[in-house]
Each structure stands twice: as C-alpha cells, then as structure tokens.
Amino acid sequence: MSAPARVRRPTRSEVEDLLFAEAELLDAWDLDTWLTLYTSDSRYVVPATDVPDGDPTTDLVLIDDDRLRMTLRVERLNSRKAHREYPHSKCRHLVTNVRVGEPDGDEIPVRASFIVWRTRNGKDSTWVGGYTYRLVERDGALRIRSKRVELDMSSLRPANDVAVIL
C-alpha cells in the first residue's frame, strides 16, 4: 500500500490571489463567477455573533449553506425580486492578515481578517471579523471547500442583518 500523495502548501501570495479575486467578484456582484471558486461539496457558514464558535449542527447560526443553498442564494440575489439588494448595494470587501496553515489531509487551512462596507440608499453598513477557509486544489487551481465568517461584532444592530455575501 502506498502512502497518500502529500498536498502542496500554496504560498501566501497564491492564497491571497484567490481571496482577493473572491472579494473583487463579490464587490462587482459577479456572483455566478464567485460560485465557480467553490467546490461542489462546499459550505458557507456565518455563526451568530454571540456564539462565534457555534456549530451549525447544534447551535443557531445566521447562515449555514451547502452548495445547493449557495446556488439558490446567488439566484435570489441576482433576481430583481430581491428587493433588499436590487439595485445592488455598493460593497467593498477588504481582506488582510492572510495566514496559510499546514495541509490537513487534502485541505489547506487559511485564516484572514476582513472588513465589508455596504452602501445602499444613503445608509452605510459595516461588518468586521475573521474568515476561516478550507482550500483544496482542483485541476491545478485552488478552490474553496468551506468558508466560515466569524463576526467581531457584539450585535448586528449597526449593520441590521447579513443581506450580502460576506
């Protein structure tokens, strides 16, 4: 029996290229292309602000999307029927402090910090927090298997809710 192939640890620059591309796609509301950055078994989780380490299987979370629900979220946000986001808000995703961990199985753990600004109808919203990613390599390119968004906010009151993809 042969040992499993060792997963290559990507450089921070390679990971930043992926995360910055994701931010740019979200800011441009190119959500269909944004979805292509994710694997078919991907997951997008936003825990509640009072339980940032919450487990979606046992705790109340703000968002717990598998790939199907992510696709439905994109369809809704792209639709004119999404009154809260049509016309689209102006958004700016800033990603910083990117740290690449040691490969774990076929996954590469990544942590980063973020600020997302949203402007809509003269009202500004800001979300601040940290991202935890699990990346994998598919067909020679890095892809996102999971993204967890932990908000560093004591409540959502200043931002009202999570109407955009963080």
pLDDT in tens, 1-28: 565 567 899 999 999 999 999 999 999 9
Q: Identify the band that residue 85 occupies on the pLDDT scale cut at 50, 70 and 90.
A: confident
Between the alpha carbon of residue 154 and those of residues 111, 129, 159, the distances in Å are 21, 11, 11
Between the alpha carbon of residue 155 and those of residues 10, 49, 127, 158, 159, the distances in Å are 35, 6, 10, 7, 9
Q: Identify any residues that bridge with 146 across adjacent strands, giving them in sequence order.
A: 43, 134
Domain residue ranges in the chain: 12-154
Rg over alpha carbons for the chain, rounded to the nearest Å, is 16
The Cβ of residue 25 has, within 10 Å, a number of other Cβ atoms equal to 19
**Tell me, what's the pLDDT at 2?**
60
pLDDT (tens digit, 9 = 90+) per residue, 111-166?
A: 999 999 999 888 899 999 999 999 999 999 999 999 999 999 877 676 677 888 99
**Tell me, what's the pLDDT at 4?**
58
- pTM here is 0.92
Class at the top of the CATH hierarchy for domain 12-154 = alpha beta
pLDDT (tens digit, 9 = 90+) per residue, 26-55?
A: 999 999 999 999 999 999 999 998 888 889
CB 43 within 8 A of CB 65: yes
List, in sequence order, the alpha helices (H) in the chain. 12-27, 31-35, 67-78
**Tell me, what's the pLDDT at 3?**
56
